[in-house]
Structure 1
Amino acid sequence: MVKLSNPYLLIGILLLTVIASGLLCNIVTADVNDTSSIMFENGTTVVSGDLLINRETMRKEPLTAFPNNILRPLKNRDFTTVYISLITGSAPKDVIKNNSYITADGHISSKLEGPGTVIMDSNGKISVQPAKSMVWGYKLPYTVAVKDGDSIRLVENNTTVKTVKGSEINKDNVPSYFVNTTAMRSWFNSSKDGDNITVDYYLGNFNDKRAPVYGRENIIKDFGNSTFAYMRNYTSGAPVLVYEHNASEVEVSNGHSTVEYLSGYPTEIRASNAKEFADGWNNTIVPPHSSAHGKENVTFTAIAESEAASGSATHGVCPPGRSLRQAIMALGNPLPVGMSTGDEAILYEYRPTIDVSVSNNGDYPIKIVMWTEGSSGDTQIYTKIYELRDNATYVNSTNSTNSTNSSE
């Protein structure tokens, strides 16, 4: 007599019995493309710890028609599922195509580094694709507030999702991460019917084609606090590097200038504006073959200027503008928008970080690093450009020039 002490032997015998007897001949076959147990849609970003597959809602399929469904729980030594499946004649549908980053209980495993992407094939089978060495998206408008009489309408995708009285605007009923409540109320009081302002943004148009990510909580969960902070700092449409791994930051260009002392213009204000300009461009990322502006949450002090159409100008931004211009153009990139080729580098009526934009014609992303040293007219402004090289594919840099230092 054979002693059935080996669970695999017992399972094999039971499985053969079920298949041979056609135990579930009266059960209606499930939809083979059912994906109701998959918690994320195709293209969605997932990170380690996310629940990808809800085992409680997995559709059961007859073993006589789909015997392979029992193989994965058998391999995972999930004997409870195996025994129940054999007794009932049906097993949970196997929706996994590749389980490299999926645990037995349906979560994303700790093996996944960074933000992965859910990939679903035409049969409803899923796998998780790890992130490339660098992933970037763009800050794009999502929720728009439209003034409508004594209220505002919050509009998303051309659909009004909420109406709020102007007198009731607060952080609980109007998104306030990008436009705070005080600024929102001020806008409401000074605007006219039909005027609009964007109050919330999402990340989309990713270079690896993943689906857009909406909402502060999801952005922070998927990409971290630093990504959301970067979004808040920059203008609408700004490129945002959300992940960098196995990449090298290599200096490829630099620039230098000095504030200097100019008769008739307050030196301390000019030095302050120069430092603000450097802060406004520091750590800005520009993807390959694209352009970018600087930060929008910087503050400049205007000085009276008769030559400016507005009657004032932010003097002191031209020295750092020259430093940035040198470093950018040394790489073969065009003259930045809003700049001239002369000493007065920033054109009148162009805001130094919001309106000025720089281009990157290279094949790799670049990072702009700017800082100042010293004070008053002796303030030195330094710019360095770093190329972000993917170590897995990098062969020869398309950007490899240092500019000539200058103290114009």
Structure 2
Amino acid sequence: MSTKWRNTSVKIVLILFVVCIMLFAFSFVNHTSFTGKSFAEAYGLPIGQSMFDGDSILDDKAPVEVPLLGNPLFIVHEITTLDLKGLLMTLTTGYVPFDYSTISSEGIDSYGNARGFEGPGYLTLDGDKLAVKAPDNYIWGYSSPYKVLTKTNSGVDVVENGTVVQSVPTDKIKELNFHNDFYNVTSILNWYNNDATVGSNFTLEKGIVGFSDGRNNISYSDVERIFGKNVSDYVDAYPAGSPIVLYMGNTTEVAAEDYYTYLGSHPEYGDSVREYNARQFVEAWNNTVIPPHSSGNGHDYVSFGSAADASAPGGSAAHGVCPPARALRAAVLGEGFSLPVGMDGSENAVLFGYNPARDIKVTNTHDFPVKIIMWTQGEGTGMAIYAKLIRYVPTDQVNTSNLTTNATISQDIGNSST
């Protein structure tokens, strides 16, 4: 650096220093003192909103600028960051960008941008300060209908977040373009014509409510935007009200023991129907993830065949679900969990009156999520049915008490159930 440039730089700094000293005399001119809470209220900040590193806490609002004469110290962060363009604008307009470091405790830089974390954080109040909190190791919530069709006397209403956005007459329902991997307009027509009464709802989209960390509820579109398509697809597959693990940080997968049984033969109920039902049970429960201290169920879009059974209420039952239910029950009890709701301890493991997919509830009492894995080998009456749990343990907490693996261990639980 030349001597001339060094002298010029010193002069610029001295001039700015003198300006700051002069402005200090006006430090009480048009000055408004903010706390994080009062600023959030004054400018309508989206407290509870999910945020990523680099997002502005103002969301899509215009930057906040305040009179320099009343807030002379706010120019300091422009000087320290050598924001020459900002300094020029401040000195020519008399307004300075608000310095958010004065009202924040963590996760927010002086310009109001979220900083210093990975994953989906969220804006909150930390006492009287603003903060963007980094995500916990696990984030979960509960799926909830966000957009539904409600049957009316003359057709259906499209209701989004509690507000009717469209009314569709009966003869136009067939033209609706709502669909996903699990339903289409044919499904909607079947519901309308065969199942629904006036006031009944058909869920089109599910959002997330009741977040584990207290952040704001989100719409269906925000599920994919914030947590990814895999999570959005999972939400689609499971009934409204299901607990959903939305995010996991640094975890290690630890496999528990395998449990297995065989389908066996009961020709009086039809072994082909029994095999179909067993496979449907496995499909419904495989890859189900249950958050800590929550009760989860299988997914919703499976069907079960019926077999005549004089001892069953209504004269028929979904025979074939009990062998996979016993395998699941063994894996759950082997993990130290309680007997699932909708099951008993007998060979006929599924209680009458419970849908084997959505009504059975498995309660995870761990401090971390678990995933249920189910699969089959072979076919026919000799088909083997397996179940095990995967623990998602925080990597820094893996120890001998939770690192039990089962690379070579399997347990046969018998095969005589219907």
**Shorter-chain TM-score: which interval?**
0.7 to 0.9
Is the alpha carbon distance of 1:116 and 1:304 closer, same or farther for their aligned partners in structure 2, counting shifts above 3 Å? same
Partner SS state of residue 314, structure 2: coil
* Structure 2 equivalent of residue 192 of structure 1: 197
State the Cα distance separating 1:176 from its structure 2 match: 6.2
* Structure 2 equivalent of residue 389 of structure 1: 393
Structure 1 or 2: more helix by fraction: 2
Is the alpha carbon distance of 1:185 and 1:394 closer, same or farther for their aligned partners in structure 2, counting shifts above 3 Å? same
| Residue 164, structure 1, aligned to residue 168, structure 2 | yes
Partner SS state of residue 143, structure 1: strand
Partner SS state of residue 70, structure 2: coil
Determine which of 209, 231, 238 is the counterpart of 2:214: 209
Partner SS state of residue 75, structure 2: helix
* Structure 1 equivalent of residue 322 of structure 2: 318
* Structure 1 equivalent of residue 240 of structure 2: 236
State the Cα distance separating 1:167 from its structure 2 match: 3.0
Is the alpha carbon distance of 1:220 and 1:75 closer, same or farther for their aligned partners in structure 2, counting shifts above 3 Å? farther
* Structure 1 equivalent of residue 254 of structure 2: 250
- Computed over aligned residues only, the root mean square deviation of the Cα atoms, in angstroms, reads 3.4
| Bigger mean CA deviation after superposition, 373-382 or 332-341 | 332-341
Give the gaps of 5 or more residues in structure 1: none
1:112-145 Cα shifts (integer Å, max 9, x gaps): 321111124565x533211111111111233343
Q: Structure 2: how far apart are the matches of 1:171 and 1:71?
A: 61
State the Cα distance separating 1:86 from its structure 2 match: 2.8
Q: Structure 1: how far apart are the matches of 2:125 and 2:152?
A: 43
Q: Structure 1: how far apart are the matches of 2:214 and 2:175?
A: 33
* Structure 2 equivalent of residue 351 of structure 1: 355
Partner SS state of residue 69, structure 2: coil
Is the alpha carbon distance of 1:164 and 1:94 closer, same or farther for their aligned partners in structure 2, counting shifts above 3 Å? farther
Q: Is the 8 A contact 1:257 1:320 kept in 2?
A: yes
> Quick one: which amino acid aligns to residue 384 of structure 1?
K
| Residue 377, structure 1, aligned to residue 384, structure 2 | no
Q: Is the 8 A contact 2:243 2:294 kept in 1?
A: no
**TM-score, normalization: structure 1?**
0.85
State the Cα distance separating 1:211 from its structure 2 match: 1.4
Equivalent residues, number: 402
Determine which of 400, 404, 412 is the counterpart of 1:405: 412
Determine which of 364, 369, 385 is the counterpart of 2:368: 364
Q: Structure 2: how far apart are the matches of 1:182 and 1:263?
A: 35
1:193-216 Cα shifts (integer Å, max 9, x gaps): 233333332112121222111132
Q: Structure 1: how far apart are the matches of 2:400 and 2:145?
A: 37
Q: Is the 8 A contact 1:140 1:201 kept in 2?
A: yes
What's the % identity of the aligned pairs?
Answer: 30
State the Cα distance separating 1:180 from its structure 2 match: 3.2
> Quick one: which amino acid aligns to residue 414 of structure 2?
S
State the Cα distance separating 1:376 from its structure 2 match: 1.4
Determine which of 82, 87, 91 is the counterpart of 2:87: 82
Q: Is the 8 A contact 1:37 1:59 kept in 2?
A: no
State the Cα distance separating 1:329 from its structure 2 match: 1.4
| Mapping for residues 2-401 of structure 1, pairs under 5 Å | 3-6=7-10, 7-20=12-25, 22=26, 25=29, 28-29=30-31, 32=34, 33-35=38-40, 41-48=46-53, 50-53=55-58, 57-96=62-101, 97=103, 108=114, 112-121=117-126, 126-155=130-159, 159-169=163-173, 180-190=184-194, 191-216=196-221, 218-392=222-396, 397=401
